[in-house]
Structure 1
Amino acid sequence: AALAQMSARLSTLPRTTVPLARRSLLGIESLRNMGGTASGTAQDDESVTAVAASATEPTVTSLRAIVDELAQQHHGVVLTMGKGGVGKTSVAAAVAIGLANKGLQVHLTTTDPAGDVTMAVAEDAVANLSVSRIDPAKVTAAYREEVMHTAGAELDDVGRALLDEDLRSPCTEEIAVFRAFAEAVAAGEDKLVVLDTAPTGHTILLLDSALAYHREVTRQATRMPEFVENLLPRLRDPDFTRILVVTLPESTPVHEAAKLQDDLRRAAIEPFAWVVNQSLTPLDVTDRILVGRQRAESPLISEVVSQYARRTAIIPWLVDSPSGLSGLQLMIR
């Protein structure tokens, strides 16, 4: 469908087509073979079959079952976390819609500069669901204005000029986004907030900021805003914050998600569940390439279930990218 919509100008350019491989491209030999006419070898098939046969059948659930469990509490925060490109925004939007459909008041928002939950939900009106996006430029401008009106109120012109210059440093945006994140988490006291976070690196920066702020609050008497002061305790409270670690059934996304979980646990934050997105495992496939990829998923899903996750949900591969109400509801059917 995407190729059919290619513009006439692009369609006239030289094109190289790389076929879908039957397994993840790991190792030098796999990279050397990438782009060949064959998408795998007999040796690949034997290797994949042997690994899959050695893996036990994993016990997993659906995203709908996770939503049912999340709906048992009527307030708090649900965060989707993981590396870029694994479908965090779609999972967050699907969870928010599922919770709203149960009659709960839900707010969906994102800290991801590349994520747009408003586009994911499109313009479909969903009862009980509000949607927003933490825009770094807007929250930074608001934070600068707030500081100038408070800390700068009693300064002379020179002092205000120095303060204004200081507020133009790159760290100001980090502080502003962090405060907006803390405020979004605090809103979970009155409703369910589903928060689509930035890719792993950005999220860890937010958590590091939370730890630094928390240490500073306990060290000094100067009072910070309540929502900032209580951010880390809220994130550490398993009855308030539920973290969904989103990944793909591929080696790199799974192992990066495992490192993210280690970072969370070092901050005394325990994930609620893992969500394996775009999986062929639940599907009845017959194509040789898809069967090979399906077999390759098995040991990775077993690794997630046995080594990392307390709960594991699998979302089947969808033909079309989920967007709009109808597309997102397919993820929680």
Structure 2
Amino acid sequence: MNIGIIGSGNITSSVHLPLLSCMDKVNIKFIADRKNPKTLAKLYNTKSIELNEQSSFPDCDIILITLPVGARKNYLQKFAEYGSYIFSEKPFTMDLKTHEDLLQLSDKFTCNYERIFYNTTRNIKNIISSEIFGNIQKISIVEGGIQGKTGITKNSYINDPKLSGGFLHESASHTFNQLSFLFENITVNSANILWQDDFDIESNVFFDVTGKNSFPIDYKGTHIKHVQSKTSIFFERTKIEFNHLIPDSTFLISTLNSAKKFILNQENTFASTFPQAYYLKWNDFINKIYSSSKLNPEFETSLSTTRIISDILEKGGRK
């Protein structure tokens, strides 16, 4: 399986390359970036390509695209037209229309929302599906923390709203993907967004989940306050708390009228570390290609996540 890589930033050098280089039947065909990645390519004994309008690329089975979200659209289009399978870093796009348009070009996309392979995510899905604690009454989610710009250069894409997506796209998208994985019918009821320098830095969102069991979700995501990231699920008589950001969260269970908490033991059949989650995501994608399985691009790229963020931005507006 020949894999070409567009983008040589930290996520490529620290996560994808070490992982892919250890996988069976995987060959890194090239690494390309706007600044010629000669050193990184040499480390992995592969071809380096400097990205420009005249760049040409060797044929590959899969193209990994890790450029900032605001800079990757043209490459998603280009390789979709080539008929390549494409593994994109998240978020897939900055807006719903672009996402939908790309899926019209190809059904060979996936996007790296790896948290659905966490033990944490799979275990809470099993708990909810079992209905052992009855119906959900409500869910509360808090996440984030103060994020400064120490060590970030002035020219970094993180400082450019045309390239980077702010808190909703860059951080909350993972959590919204988890919610979409857990619940089929989730919609945005209302939202309030705080903006700074054209970036969303804090959001308070209320969701509605409808179906056999309907209930609300209140969500708070922030880059400007110290918070303890946590999901709290309130059932009819019990509450379960866990950290949805980590692969192997402890599940604390208590009755609604008691402060006494117990640890709920869970199975360990999916990812209990971050590298394992990335591995399972890659392995899932490669196995689907080998088996010639027809991909579901709306699921693979989490169109529902992009739709949620678009609805939040529309209903939240600028304050």
Tell me if TM exceeds 0.5.
no
Greater share of helix: 1
Greater share of strand: 2
For CA contacts below 8 A with separation 6 or more, give which structure has more relative contact order: 1
Question: TM-score, normalization: structure 1?
Answer: 0.31
